[in-house]
Structure 1
């Protein structure tokens, strides 16, 4: 059956905007090709150009940046280590990519975030391609604009965590499945797209473990249960696909288990089963934990939810086959909706919850929102823009409240510095919604959505960049220069009762943990000689061992400095860096004092 690029199912509720779409097409038909090229460049510049404008935040950003640095430095790409200790909580692909980035471009902040930015862009592109194939080119472009302007997606693409790397791979899994199942896809092309889907699952498994295959499998089971379409399973090219997925994922698992027999039980029992079924990782949350995160993460497009639900309910994109008894048609909107729903419910039921867990559902939301945008009438779209004007205004009015916040881990002075950035972000939300309303009247829907999406990306980027007012102090970057003047290669750098996730990366020098192994307790148990288990053992090493530097909390410093000599190198509100030897300035002062007292 021939495929019409801009076709969706002929459901009455989805077609009220057909005339408006024709008007938009007429208004944009004469736009020079240079304009979309400049728009793409503007998005890319904002997407990639801001990666190095903030210092890394702990724990995740500093942890994965340092693991990759140690990996590159040691040359061991199989046994993952963090601060020199075995670290088997996650597979290596994200760290591999970051280490490659270091090798190509040097070690730094933007290099540490390049992997997630690329993953976000790849996931966005794959989602656009799938949406365009099933719902038309306009829906494909709209889907990309929605993802670029969704704060959960664009913010995650600028944080060095595994969540976006996994989400980019999962977006490719969904896109490959959708592209393969289109009835106009030739058999050879279907096989290629399904193999790409299976390979992406292998990448996901190599990024974050079994979740990379469990979630797609869950979605397939749910889809089959709803549609009774068992024929879909025969179109998955499972034998070749499973072999390809295993070829991608298994070699590292086999190698690391061969070198480290303790890996399999820790990784699959502790990090998978216990993490999901219990609160062993101390990350609990109510069943509705992800509801506000979803609302905030999709905030600029929440007004499209009714249209997204209609797209699923009215089988948008379905290409009907002629003849009775024909194979049930594939339902792309339903598959996409179940993808988002399954991921949301799966992690809502987990005993361990973190905000980034639901990021893989956003490509599906973006695709459905792209369909809704092509079908929404002017009134519905204007309602969304008016709502965002109200949100921005409320945010502006509330921004002075940020300056009143205070916490043990973030002093009020830092919140006061961040408050103007919150106000700026809210002002950009208002300006973007207002500009989108103007563009809707003058240039049509596509120009309006494009301007709105870029404005949303700009606003949330401003809020993220402004967080450097808080993040700079948290990273400890201002302590690096004074510590580097004292710390030498091979000199112990102790973390006394604290695991600092960022300073070791900036110093290029791993910590030796003292008294409290924190999340490195598994590695410390495997290699006990690589850490100091008690404060008493540390005190002995500090007094009688080689020259060393230590990082302590202010409270720990106050306690231990009364027991043993500690020479302060530098300090901030959360950490004190000390040495067990007199510093150059101290030695010179002591000589001057000694000479003064020796003078007759």
Structure 2
């Protein structure tokens, strides 16, 4: 897809082809805001399988499988086989984990490093642990990888949860406990993993102007200021430069976690009845889970948020839900709540399907969607574009979703006290629902991506490419064609800061530069949203805008 999805993949491709594994670049411009491990993983996949879209997704997919396995093993170690299995499948079939791993973002891999760190923390606090050195090394490795995925929160979250847990269990000042944790070994391994990139990135991207705590247009303070101050401190304070993001309302950010853990959130109330006595391993784990959830959610209560920022707590929620189901806490009420919710969803979507069946599905899906560009800085902003007319293009996914929800409603109703059967039915229903979601994403692909424009560009005569936006709007074209472009009025958003670096390429042009090139007699191509066409006609005249390809409200134009 366009936006961050293809951006991440193209950065990985550029690293592989350029040999520069330190500084991420987009269109030749330094892209300093993210840590590189997710790019390295994709680049490694490209080296093995070739540069393909599916190859870019393999590392994230395998990481999610590993995350679900770690959750299962974590639960099994503390609460038994059944609780571990229920926890693992709850995470694997939760809506949030599926939904937010359709895009190439590192949060699921970050969640894996946090889960491994806290599992190692728990293992190291057990006096009878047979391999404490191995677990300390694993903790340090996980923390180091987390730093290379998303910065300092990879330390803040597990450290905060671990210290809060030790305070709650009165071990914070226990020398014996700290000795078992082996903090110096953990720190050493973490630094060996993470320090080299941070040092090299700082040395290779030094400040260009005098250091300042306030970055602004034309100022470039290098990697260290932008990454540690701008992307960490100022982002937390909602003062990040440039201001190219939105934030989810705090109350909604908390409540939405019930949707992200759906359908297993129906059993979370049962966690209230579980034992949190630190005299048992299961009780200690559950206490750690509460600390884990609390630290992450309180942190983001005072920070900027996207819908998926709470992903690090998904394993903790799944472990609580799995434990509640395994111990029979709230299971009867949760089962009937599941029947009611899934039954209602089947009826509502069935009604939508009946209404949409009478509507024609002519032309493109994009023609039936509403437009809410002010919401697109949120991860799920495009969900608001759906209309009844759009569902006419989604009849098969709708039918599958209705079948999935009906299966769960009926199956959970007849399962009665057979907990294993109820879980199996819910898993089967969610697998079918995920296939419905996948088919819907296929139908949305021309709207969310620009593959058809990329294909048309590849089949066209050679020429210089111009993009009428800030790179992200057509990022899939850059991936599929592996081309760079001139960016028309595109010095904004995530490329703005790097554009002021002393070695930044001169890829940014204004209207006057565009007109001069377009009328030069050389062949140029232009990627643009159709909403910008009136302005372009004013600049060069409609007769000089030749349509090469149009798709879902986007155009590839040529000057000849």
Q: Please tell me the TM-score bracket, short chain as reference.
A: 0.7 to 0.9
Q: C-alpha separation between the residues in 1 aligned to 2:11 and 2:325?
A: 42
TM superposition shift of 1:486: 1.8
Q: Which moved more, 1:340-349 or 1:454-463?
A: 454-463
Which of the numbers 530, 548, 552 marks the counterpart of 1:554? 530
Which of the numbers 154, 158, 170 marks the counterpart of 2:98? 154
Q: What pairs with 1:45-444 in structure 2 (closer than 5 Å)?
A: 57-186=1-130, 189-230=131-172, 231=174, 232-261=177-206, 262-278=222-238, 280=240, 281=243, 282-311=245-274, 314-315=275-276, 318-319=279-280, 331-350=284-303, 352-376=304-328, 379-397=332-350, 399-400=352-353, 406-408=369-371, 414-418=390-394, 420-438=396-414, 444=418
Question: Which residue does the alignment assign to 1:457?
Answer: 431
Q: Which runs of 5+ in 1 are unaligned?
A: 1-56, 321-328, 583-600
User: TM-score if structure 1 supplies the norm length?
Assistant: 0.79
Question: Which residue does the alignment assign to 2:551?
Answer: 572
Question: Which residue does the alignment assign to 1:492?
Answer: 464
TM superposition shift of 1:96: 0.8
Q: C-alpha separation between the residues in 1 aligned to 2:521 and 2:126?
A: 69
Change (3 A) 1:153 1:316: farther
Change (3 A) 1:552 1:159: closer
Within the alignment, does 1:532 sit opposite 2:492 as a pair?
A: no
Change (3 A) 1:380 1:411: closer
| CA offsets 1:488-515 (integer angstroms, 9 cap, x no match) | 4xx4321123432222112222332121
Q: C-alpha separation between the residues in 2 aligned to 1:65 and 1:524?
A: 20
Q: What pairs with 1:580-599 in structure 2 (closer than 5 Å)?
A: 580=559, 582=560
Change (3 A) 1:283 1:525: same
Count of residues paired in the alignment: 508
Conserved 8 A contact 1:130-1:179: no
TM superposition shift of 1:67: 1.1
SS class of match (2:54): helix
| CA offsets 1:171-192 (integer angstroms, 9 cap, x no match) | 2222222333334422xx1221
Q: Which moved more, 1:551-560 or 1:293-302?
A: 551-560
TM superposition shift of 1:439: 5.1
Conserved 8 A contact 2:546-2:558: yes
Q: What pairs with 1:10-29 in structure 2 (closer than 5 Å)?
A: none
Question: Which residue does the alignment assign to 1:482?
Answer: 456
TM superposition shift of 1:245: 0.5
TM superposition shift of 1:269: 0.9
Change (3 A) 1:288 1:476: same
RMSD: 2.6
| CA offsets 1:169-227 (integer angstroms, 9 cap, x no match) | 222222222333334422xx122113212211111110011110011121123223333
SS class of match (1:299): coil
Q: C-alpha separation between the residues in 2 aligned to 1:265 and 1:545?
A: 44
Question: Which residue does the alignment assign to 1:468?
Answer: 442
SS class of match (2:466): strand
User: TM-score if structure 2 supplies the norm length?
Assistant: 0.84
Q: Which moved more, 1:545-554 or 1:101-110?
A: 545-554
Q: C-alpha separation between the residues in 1 aligned to 2:231 and 2:507?
A: 23
Q: C-alpha separation between the residues in 1 aligned to 2:347 and 2:532?
A: 42
Q: C-alpha separation between the residues in 2 aligned to 1:201 and 1:160?
A: 21
Q: C-alpha separation between the residues in 2 aligned to 1:113 and 1:399?
A: 33
Q: Which moved more, 1:397-406 or 1:211-220?
A: 397-406
Conserved 8 A contact 2:265-2:321: no
Q: C-alpha separation between the residues in 1 aligned to 2:179 and 2:405?
A: 47
TM superposition shift of 1:94: 0.4
Conserved 8 A contact 1:385-1:434: no
Q: C-alpha separation between the residues in 2 aligned to 1:471 and 1:122?
A: 28
Q: Which runs of 5+ in 2 are unaligned?
A: 207-221, 360-367, 373-384
Q: C-alpha separation between the residues in 1 aligned to 2:348 and 2:178?
A: 48
Could you list the runs of 4 or more consecutive aligned residues of structure 1 that deviate by over 6 angstroms after TM superposition? none
TM superposition shift of 1:430: 2.1
Conserved 8 A contact 1:318-1:332: no
TM superposition shift of 1:92: 0.6
Conserved 8 A contact 1:181-1:190: no
TM superposition shift of 1:341: 2.1
TM superposition shift of 1:562: 4.3
Change (3 A) 1:218 1:85: same
